[in-house]
């Protein structure tokens, strides 16, 4: 019996050792990456040796098309095989994927894979529904980098790759599906002078792609060092591209040209996928879901528009160029402009806008010549084809997500609107502004904001006024105008504009816009000496969001500098100031400055001096000369046991 038991045990062990190890999947999404800015797609201005090597030894899809130039909707399409009108996530930050919709991660988890996602941006936070099926979903944005309002929007590639390697080391011998999301090519761009000197000072977008490529190289090196490269399929693909000024679009999300829809797609797996294969046929990213699962022998949920292209990837079949659907509702969400839809079919690309567009994709690669007048019948046929396709789309229900105002502000800092209302189903787009006509106005307003940051207020005001005239009801433009008027000292005019925003209501006056309008109104009233009214507007802002650091700090400042403030009000001001400082990890110099002023107003001069010295340190590090000058003046007051009360001096 003992011998039999030993024999059986040895047999089981032997069988286990001979069992073929499942193939791993490393799925890398390259946020905001244009295909034509990688070496393997012909770009020569910036080296991308890691991605180029994957392409040279694997499969390149030369004409992969994103369904939407926005991060969350595009990733949702990749992981579900559903187009945006089907899965319902049409913009960033508004909805969560319905729990009934199967995802790629769930399919891998059912097959016994260890599953992990390492996310670089709040845009893909677990609240939006893509965490289902992942054992480990790391979306913690812990980078010390803060924007001007103390918000963390994303983390750099080095942190993402460090986290991914740590997880892979813990996964051990378990077959894995690891999704790594890299956000570096997204704005704001950095030239990485510490790594590349001044080589990319004038090409910071390229610098970010070079940097991202080097970080992917660290991950590939780890796989090689652990003898996992030969049993791991590496898939690297973009979610959407970047305008970079082409067609007037500086970034992405509001136009449907190939600058933001044509993305890289590379697949690499030695011994399975052919080396150096380039597939020229056009394909949609909606096919990613069934294609990847098929390559792993896993059943995919059938969806109306997604096709399994695994045989083409394996070099065993060819396919005709696909009809590809694309859309963006972002012009509506952000500015009240007409949403866009596009259809690629045969040699043509059709864009449905108030002024329709038609391009010959075989001869006009840069989409410079609109052929709508020359080919009206083709326009009509493709419009009908697009309508027929839309009728076949069955919309899933979505789960609403109520973001905090600060979360919504993070999205705004990345260039996304959110917080408004989706286009109604019966929206008549013919009379809405056409994006291509509005983009020059938008660019002028964005340039005006940069002038405001440089304190060139008269020049900024002129640009904004020129931009508002053709689009007088654009709330986004109106608020920038109010900010510029405030900086110019034209306080009553600024308040008049803010009243227009707050009084008109409607779909575009979002929660963030309302809060910002209230806080700016309070600042105007404060500068006019109308302290009680200023406090009232700051309190209105806090009713909208009681954790808004701008409103908490603003209320505390107004009360602490008011010579008529009561002891109860001053105690409340201290509570608010301490809360604002805590919410920004004590790294925001202006909020620390307010806290010092509040301590002094409460007679706690020792703490006021201590905090003001911290303000001086941070202001010096940030080279904030204005705050530095004011902080020194206030420090001198506090050292004399005197509070800062500018209204008494006035």
Asked if residue 7 has pLDDT above 50, the reply is no
Asked if residue 25 has pLDDT above 70, the reply is yes
- Note whether residue 602 is domain-resident: yes
Decide which of 288, 322, 356 is a domain's last residue.
Answer: 322
CB burial readout 239-270, b (16+ within 10 A) else e: bbbbbbebbbbbbbbbbbbbbbbbbbbbbbbe
Lowest mean pLDDT among 389-393, 421-425, 611-615: 421-425
The reported pLDDT for the residue numbered 18 is 35
* CATH code of the domain in which 504 resides: 1.25.40.10
Beta bridge partners of residue 283, listed in sequence order: 64
98 and 235: one domain? Answer: yes
523 and 593: one domain? Answer: no
- Note whether residue 567 is domain-resident: no
Closest CA to 138 of 113, 154, 120: 120
User: Is 362 in contact with 351 (CB distance < 8 Å)?
Assistant: no
Asked if residue 114 has pLDDT above 80, the reply is yes
The reported pLDDT for the residue numbered 161 is 98
Please tell me the total count of domains within the chain.
Answer: 3
The reported pLDDT for the residue numbered 542 is 93
518 and 583: one domain? Answer: no
617 and 508: one domain? Answer: no
CA 553 to chain centre: 27
DSSP secondary structure code for residue 588 in this structure: -
471-480 pLDDT per residue, tens: 888 888 999 9
CA quadruple 309, 313, 316, 317: dihedral sign: positive
The reported pLDDT for the residue numbered 454 is 93
DSSP secondary structure code for residue 48 in this structure: -
CA quadruple 150, 616, 604, 566: dihedral sign: negative
- Note whether residue 485 is domain-resident: yes
The reported pLDDT for the residue numbered 397 is 86
Residue 461: give the domain boundaries. 433-546
Say how many CA atoms lie within 13 Å of 170 toward its Cβ: 12
439-471 pLDDT per residue, tens: 999 999 999 999 999 999 999 999 999 999 998
Decide which of 263, 293, 322 is a domain's last residue.
Answer: 322
d(CA 383, CA 386): 5
The reported pLDDT for the residue numbered 336 is 86
d(CA 556, CA 575): 8
The reported pLDDT for the residue numbered 280 is 95
- Note whether residue 33 is domain-resident: yes
- Note whether residue 15 is domain-resident: no
User: What is the H or E stretch that residue 266 is in?
Assistant: strand 265-268
Closest CA to 614 of 583, 575, 585, 645: 585
542-580 pLDDT per residue, tens: 998 888 889 999 999 999 999 899 999 999 999 999 999
d(CA 280, CA 61): 6
- Note whether residue 379 is domain-resident: no
59 and 198: one domain? Answer: yes
Average pLDDT (601-611) is: 96
Closest CA to 235 of 297, 310, 125: 310
d(CA 106, CA 126): 14
d(CA 387, CA 376): 17
- Note whether residue 421 is domain-resident: no
333 contact partners, CB below 8 Å, separation of at least 6:
91, 417, 418, 420, 422
Asked if residue 238 has pLDDT above 90, the reply is yes
The reported pLDDT for the residue numbered 419 is 52
In which band, very low, low, confident or very high, does the pLDDT at 152 lie, cut at 50, 70 and 90?
low
d(CA 600, CA 607): 8
443 and 592: one domain? Answer: no
d(CA 236, CA 331): 29
Average pLDDT (603-610) is: 96
461 and 599: one domain? Answer: no
Decide which of 530, 546, 562 is a domain's last residue.
Answer: 546
Percent of the chain with pLDDT over 90: 77
Asked if residue 13 has pLDDT above 80, the reply is no
315 and 445: one domain? Answer: no
User: Is 386 in contact with 352 (CB distance < 8 Å)?
Assistant: yes
Instruction: Extract the tokens encoding 373.
Output: 């007048």
* CATH code of the domain in which 223 resides: 3.40.720.10
Rg (CA), the chain: 28
128 contact partners, CB below 8 Å, separation of at least 6:
72, 89, 93, 95, 96, 97, 401
User: What is the H or E stretch that residue 325 is in?
Assistant: strand 324-328
165-210 pLDDT per residue, tens: 999 999 988 999 999 999 999 999 999 999 999 999 999 999 999 9
The reported pLDDT for the residue numbered 503 is 83
479 and 620: one domain? Answer: no
In which band, very low, low, confident or very high, does the pLDDT at 17 lie, cut at 50, 70 and 90?
very low
Give the 3-state secondary structure of residue 232. Answer: strand
607 and 505: one domain? Answer: no
- Note whether residue 287 is domain-resident: yes
d(CA 309, CA 123): 29
**Mean pLDDT over each residue of the chain, to the nearest integer:** 91
User: Is 80 in contact with 105 (CB distance < 8 Å)?
Assistant: no
The reported pLDDT for the residue numbered 420 is 59
174 and 243: one domain? Answer: yes
32 and 106: one domain? Answer: yes
570-587 pLDDT per residue, tens: 999 999 999 999 988 888
d(CA 28, CA 116): 12
């Amino acid at each position: 019996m003992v011998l039999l038991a030993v024999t059986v045990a040895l047999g089981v062990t032997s069988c286990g050792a001979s069992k073929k190890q499942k193939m791993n999947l490393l799925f890398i999404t390259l946020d905001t990456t244009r295909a034509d800015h990688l070496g393997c797609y012909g770009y020569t201005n910036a080296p991308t040796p890691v991605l180029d090597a994957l392409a040279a030894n694997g499969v390149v899809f030369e004409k992969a098309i994103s369904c939407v130039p926005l991060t969350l909707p595009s990733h949702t399409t990749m992981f579900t095989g559903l187009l945006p009108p089907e899965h319902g996530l049409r913009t960033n930050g508004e909805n969560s994927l319905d729990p009934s919709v199967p995802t790629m991660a769930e399919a891998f988890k059912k097959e016994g894979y260890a599953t992990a996602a390492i996310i670089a941006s709040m845009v893909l936070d677990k609240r939006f529904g893509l965490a289902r099926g992942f054992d480990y979903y790391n979306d913690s944005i812990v980078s010390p980098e803060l924007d001007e309002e103390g918000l963390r929007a994303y983390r750099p590639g080095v942190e993402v790759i460090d986290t991914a390697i740590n997880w892979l080391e813990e996964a051990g011998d378990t077959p894995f599906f690891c999704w790594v999301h890299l956000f570096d090519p997204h704005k704001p761009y950095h030239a990485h002078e510490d790594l590349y000197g001044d080589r990319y000072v004038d090409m910071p977008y390229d610098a970010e792609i070079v940097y991202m490529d080097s970080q992917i190289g660290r991950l590939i090196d780890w796989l090689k060092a652990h003898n996992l490269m030969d049993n791991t399929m590496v898939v690297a693909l973009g979610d959407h591209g970047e305008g970079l000024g082409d067609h007037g679009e500086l970034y992405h999300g509001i136009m449907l040209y190939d600058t933001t829809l044509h993305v890289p797609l590379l697949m690499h797996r030695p011994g399975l996928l052919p080396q150096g294969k380039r597939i020229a046929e056009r394909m949609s990213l909606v096919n990613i879901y069934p294609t990847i699962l098929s390559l792993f022998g896993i059943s995919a949920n059938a969806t109306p528009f997604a096709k399994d292209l695994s045989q083409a990837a394996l070099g065993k079949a060819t396919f005709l160029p696909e009809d590809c659907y694309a859309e963006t509702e972002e012009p509506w969400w952000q500015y009240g402009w007409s949403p866009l839809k596009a259809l690629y079919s045969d040699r043509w690309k059709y864009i449905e806008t108030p002024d329709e567009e038609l391009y010959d994709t075989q001869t006009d690669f840069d989409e410079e010549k609109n052929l709508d007048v020359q080919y009206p019948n083709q326009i009509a046929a493709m419009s009908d084809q697009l309508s027929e396709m839309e009728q076949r789309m069955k919309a899933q229900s979505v789960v609403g997500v109520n973001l905090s105002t600060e979360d919504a502000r993070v999205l705004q800092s990345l260039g996304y609107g959110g917080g408004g209302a989706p286009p109604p189903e019966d929206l008549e787009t013919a009379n809405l502004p056409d994006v291509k006509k509005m983009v020059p106005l938008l660019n002028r307003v964005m340039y005006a904001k940069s002038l405001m940051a440089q304190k060139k207020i008269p020049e900024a005001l002129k640009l904004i006024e020129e931009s508002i005239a053709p689009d007088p009801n654009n709330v986004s433009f109106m608020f920038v105008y109010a900010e510029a008027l405030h900086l110019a000292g034209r306080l009553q005019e600024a308040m008049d504009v803010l009243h227009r925003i707050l009084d008109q209501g409607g779909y575009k006056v979002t929660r963030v816009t309302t809060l910002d309008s209230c806080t700016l109104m309070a600042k105007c009233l404060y500068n006019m000496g109308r302290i009680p009214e200023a406090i009232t507007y700051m309190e209105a802002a806090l009713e909208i969001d009681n954790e808004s650091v701008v409103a908490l700090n603003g209320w505390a400042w107004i009360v602490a500098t008011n010579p008529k403030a009561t002891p109860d009000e001053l105690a409340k001001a201290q509570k608010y100031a301490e809360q604002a400082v805590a919410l920004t990890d004590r790294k925001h110099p202006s909020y620390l400055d307010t806290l010092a002023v509040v301590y002094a107003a409460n007679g706690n001069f020792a703490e006021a001096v201590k905090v003001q010295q911290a303000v001086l340190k941070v202001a010096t590090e940030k080279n904030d000369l204005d705050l530095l000058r004011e902080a020194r003046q206030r420090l001198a007051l506090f050292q004399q046991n005197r509070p800062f009360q500018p209204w008494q001096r006035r």
